[in-house]
Structure 1
Amino acid sequence: MPHIAIIGSGPAGYYTAEAAQKKWGEDAHIDVFDRLPVPYGLIRAGVAPDHQSIKAVSRRYEKTALTDTVRFIGNISVGTDVSIGELQEFYDAVILATGAPNDRPLDLPGGDCANVIGSAAMVGWYNGHPEFAELDPDLSGRNAVVIGMGNVALDVARILSKAPTEFEGSDIVAHALTALADSSIETVTILGRRGPHQIMMTPKELGELMHLEQAIPRVDKRDLPPEDDDAILEPGLRKSVNHLRSFAAIPESIHGEKPRAIEFDFFASPKAIVGSDGVATAVEVERTRIEAGRAIGTGETYTIPADLVLSCIGYRTSPIDGVPYDARAGKFANSDGRILPGLYCVGWARRGPSGTIGTNRPDGYDVIDRVVEDIGSASRKQGGAGFDTLAAERSLEVVRFSDWKKIEDAELAAARDGAPREKFVDIERMIAATKD
């Protein structure tokens, strides 16, 4: 049976491992690599900490990981510790499931101000990703502006607006919980270039805003299209727009009953970050109109106060030496998942950052079908044994799934009251936990 290397242990990686396991059964040889000592990628570090029901999908991945046919190889950076070319020498197929961990750049004047932060960094900060644990965003101002109209923008706005008690049951990390409890932010403005009919926010996430303890959502009725126009929308988007209509119907008289507000500013295209001494103070915005589905500037501009700016405009896959990359699309250059002979990609690394977590399952099964078409079922390589020899020669500290379970046990034991775990936010502590 072929030896398969999957680079990335998030949803795309483990759905692909599941597909390979079902294709080849007990004779499968599947190694799942991750640069961190902990698995699950987006589930651990990207899904909002107050969405524990979504994070529960990791139990499915654990079931796959605990089989004899799948190995977790953590704490290994592909492209640094081992090259793609070396992995191709060991494995019959190498499948990149690295996701899209980098922010699309905010290409605006003033975008380099100190308090302008990308969503990957912000989400990583409150989720305890080691790369962003020391971000320390300045929450001492009154106004935050979130650029983007997708679920990530909504998550960031919601997390900024919640009361400390509303994080009970979440796995938000301690440093973020403390900082948010001391936050002075009163208004979070969500900017979108287009209108309510073009949002990418899903109904469940929008509906949560109606139940926040200390924040109230606001929509200007004038931004809403005629209600009859909603009939042409697909059902999910129609439900989302219904939520926006509910927000707009909240009487002005009760807007002041809660200390915080989440303002939706539609038809608003950011043009520049206004700042002083390298610190943002406002966002300059141009009013837009929609023509053939596109946002067209009207020339009318205004500014919104901004003590913190969060850019939630999409993600990009990290390039890897030796792998063709589509810089414009921010993903690996591929044809239906094929990159080069014996080299494939799946999930966001293949499609770009689109779809839900579940979208990665059929994607994983599809790429395994292509592997079978290309190489069949006969093994031509030495597989994991070859990597193990190289790792020993280079003194690489490999973290196995059994080691991860020790890390997990330590995090569970360290949980504060009402929380499922307290994540380790630095790699050294993770590694140390594997020694206990």
Structure 2
Amino acid sequence: MAFAITQTCCADASCVSVCPVNCIHPTPEERAFGSTDMLHIDPETCIDCGACADVCPTDAIFPVDRLVGSDRAYAQINADYYADDEQALEWDPPAFPTSLPSGRRPLDVAVVGSGPAAGYALESLLTTNTRVTVYERLGRPGGLLRYGVAPDHLATRRMAERFAAHHLNPRVRVRLGTEVGTDVSHAELQERHDAVVYAVGASADRRLDVPGAELVGSLSARTFVGWYNGHPDVPQDAVDLSTERVTIIGTGNVALDCARILLSDPDRLAATDIAPHALAALRRSRVRHVVIAGRRGPADASYSRGELIALQQHADFRLVVVETPGVVAEIGTAGPNSKASWLAGVPTRPVAALSEPPTERCLILLFGSRATSFGAAPGGRIGTARLEVSGSEAAVDVTTGLVLSSIGYRGTPVAGLPFDDVTGTIPHQAGRVVDPVTGSLVPSTYVTGWIKRGPSGGIGANRLCAHETVSAVLQDAADRPPRRVSAGRSRGGSPGRST
């Protein structure tokens, strides 16, 4: 009986390297790897050895005959991936980071950040003769895994345990509560370490440029996610759930996470590590409708198939599609590999239903729509969202007391480093930071993760990204003479709490 990969796949390709028969695709060498949201096992080639399940960091791989509930769909999803295209590529030999010359003292590297990008970089560095100091601005490590992943995605959040285990390595020191640029400068890190790797993610939001977006009750999805995950930068009273309808702008996985948390039974969420103040607010919540509005049609929505399937099978609310012009036809005629086909059989409602008082808990998908303005209710809070719907002559005014903008993240500048304001990233060449004015490399300075490539790709995409950067760190170290360590300089001596 073959194995199948399910919703919680992180796509970091740990399973690819252990499969003895090349039945897991796309591999990191294949073009589709960078854009896929999950990997797939070929049921015709799989020999049922289970090696992939043993190494999967998110427990996403199961024998087909053990799939239950909504996961049963993944047997066909895995098989469908191979229906149209023969996968016959041979693997390249496994790649490992460059080794330092034998007899050389251990390399001393600073990693700034403690999220998944930093975790994969640390993991890769520890395969060599390297000592690492992790600098984390917050009082707890984990980054995106702790404060960005929904609390009911238990398997994904367990990846934090994998990275946290590396913090116990005797060659690792963790400096919590230490912000680079405030508590310690980049120049100081360069002086103390042979190399500095920045894995600081994308901590800002893309701005929703719509009149009324500044009203009270208009928040970023990032703020809402931080609120229910207990991020220390987000006040506990940042979210008001006294409205019956919430509108989310954007159709990515974060938008679906926000909607699911808003509509789930609080008793179900109580079994997770959701922030206590958020759980208490959700118990008092009046929210019954969540409208997810996106500019594109169902074939081009940004969410992944796994996240949508989970919503279709959810016991706490109904998933509904609004009957905007062309959407029903697009779903009905979509090919099997189109995202639009994933909505076949989902109930539909007319546009007028958006103005009706909520009765049951519903997650409503509104495609082909664009927010043009937000209006204020008495008292100054947001009260309506005006949405232009493609193919409709009149705009739709949706009564809503909370709007979440989920249109993407962007990086922010790091003190002492160059920054590309257009892309929201630090300029680099294969992970080596570059001064865009002079074109020269910034000495001993590197980037990985979203601050390197922009906010694209899931958690697993950071594995290959970190491998490229760490290979650059080690190659550069091998090509230059060892750094002279000043007498009396303690390793990583900086403010902050060490673990």
Fold match by TM threshold 0.5? yes
Instruction: Return the match for 1:334 from 428, 433, 454.
Output: 428
8 A Cα contact 1:90 1:381, kept in partner: no
**Match for residue 369 of structure 1?**
471
* Matches of 2:493 and 2:168, distance apart in 1: 24
Which TM-score applies when normalising by structure 2? 0.71
What is the CA-CA distance between 1:19 and the residue it aligns to?
0.9
SS of 2:414's equivalent? Answer: coil
- Whether 2:421 is the aligned partner of 1:323: answer no
Cα deviation 1:408-431 (Å, max 9, x = unaligned): xxxxxxxxxxxxxxxxxxxxxxxx
8 A Cα contact 1:286 1:302, kept in partner: yes
Which structure dedicates a bigger proportion of its chain to helix?
1
**Match for residue 483 of structure 2?**
380
- Whether 2:133 is the aligned partner of 1:35: answer no
8 A Cα contact 2:180 2:415, kept in partner: no
**Match for residue 346 of structure 2?**
247
Structure 1 stretch 161-170 or stretch 49-58: which is displaced more?
Answer: 161-170
8 A Cα contact 2:318 2:363, kept in partner: yes
Q: Which amino acid aligns with 2:456?
A: S
**Match for residue 368 of structure 2?**
267
- Whether 2:127 is the aligned partner of 1:3: answer no
What is the CA-CA distance between 1:168 and the residue it aligns to?
3.7
Q: Which amino acid aligns with 1:351?
A: R
* Matches of 1:364 and 1:18, distance apart in 2: 9
How does 1:117-128 map onto structure 2 within 5 Å?
A: 117-128=219-230
* Matches of 1:283 and 1:249, distance apart in 2: 21
Q: In terms of Rg, which structure is larger?
A: 2
What is the CA-CA distance between 1:196 and the residue it aligns to?
0.6
8 A Cα contact 1:29 1:383, kept in partner: no
How does 1:169-180 map onto structure 2 within 5 Å?
A: 169-180=271-282
**Match for residue 206 of structure 2?**
104
Alignment CA distance shift 1:385-1:161 (3 Å): farther
**Match for residue 21 of structure 1?**
126
8 A Cα contact 2:245 2:358, kept in partner: no
* Matches of 1:9 and 1:105, distance apart in 2: 26
**Match for residue 223 of structure 1?**
327
How does 1:124-203 map onto structure 2 within 5 Å?
A: 124-203=226-305
How does 1:196-215 map onto structure 2 within 5 Å?
A: 196-215=298-317
* Matches of 1:55 and 1:382, distance apart in 2: 39
What is the CA-CA distance between 1:226 and the residue it aligns to?
5.1
Alignment CA distance shift 1:174-1:384 (3 Å): farther
- Whether 2:146 is the aligned partner of 1:44: answer yes
* Matches of 2:492 and 2:256, distance apart in 1: 46
Q: Which amino acid aligns with 2:464?
A: P
Structure 1 vs Structure 2: percent identity of aligned residues?
A: 34
8 A Cα contact 2:227 2:235, kept in partner: yes
- Displacement over 6 Å in runs of 4+: 255-258
What is the CA-CA distance between 1:399 and the residue it aligns to?
2.2
**Match for residue 399 of structure 1?**
497
Structure 1 stretch 71-80 or stretch 380-389: which is displaced more?
Answer: 380-389
8 A Cα contact 1:4 1:93, kept in partner: yes
What is the CA-CA distance between 1:100 and the residue it aligns to?
1.0
**Match for residue 428 of structure 1?**
none
Taking CA–CA contacts closer than 8 Å with sequence separation of 6 or more, which of the two structures ends up with the larger relative contact order?
Answer: 1
Instruction: Return the match for 1:360 from 443, 462, 469.
Output: 462
Structure 1 stretch 29-38 or stretch 145-154: which is displaced more?
Answer: 29-38
* Matches of 2:136 and 2:485, distance apart in 1: 20
8 A Cα contact 1:118 1:312, kept in partner: yes
Give the unaligned 5+ runs of structure 1. 290-297, 402-436
Q: How many residues align?
A: 376
* Matches of 2:487 and 2:147, distance apart in 1: 27
Give the unaligned 5+ runs of structure 2. 1-105, 351-355, 434-441
CA RMSD of aligned residues (A): 2.6
Q: Which amino acid aligns with 2:405?
A: S
Alignment CA distance shift 1:302-1:356 (3 Å): same
What is the CA-CA distance between 1:300 and the residue it aligns to?
4.7
What is the CA-CA distance between 1:385 and the residue it aligns to?
7.7
* Matches of 1:131 and 1:320, distance apart in 2: 18
8 A Cα contact 1:90 1:384, kept in partner: no
8 A Cα contact 2:246 2:287, kept in partner: yes
Cα deviation 1:53-98 (Å, max 9, x = unaligned): 1111122212322212222111101110011111111112111100
**Match for residue 381 of structure 2?**
279
8 A Cα contact 2:418 2:426, kept in partner: yes
Cα deviation 1:147-203 (Å, max 9, x = unaligned): 111000000011011111221421101100010111111211001000111112112
* Matches of 1:166 and 1:347, distance apart in 2: 33
Cα deviation 1:226-249 (Å, max 9, x = unaligned): 544334x4xxxx4x5444223237
8 A Cα contact 2:316 2:361, kept in partner: yes
What is the CA-CA distance between 1:305 and the residue it aligns to?
1.4
SS of 2:372's equivalent? Answer: strand
* Matches of 2:492 and 2:307, distance apart in 1: 47
Structure 1 stretch 60-69 or stretch 363-372: which is displaced more?
Answer: 60-69
What is the CA-CA distance between 1:383 and the residue it aligns to?
9.5
Q: Which amino acid aligns with 1:11?
A: P
What is the CA-CA distance between 1:357 and the residue it aligns to?
0.6
8 A Cα contact 1:214 1:258, kept in partner: no
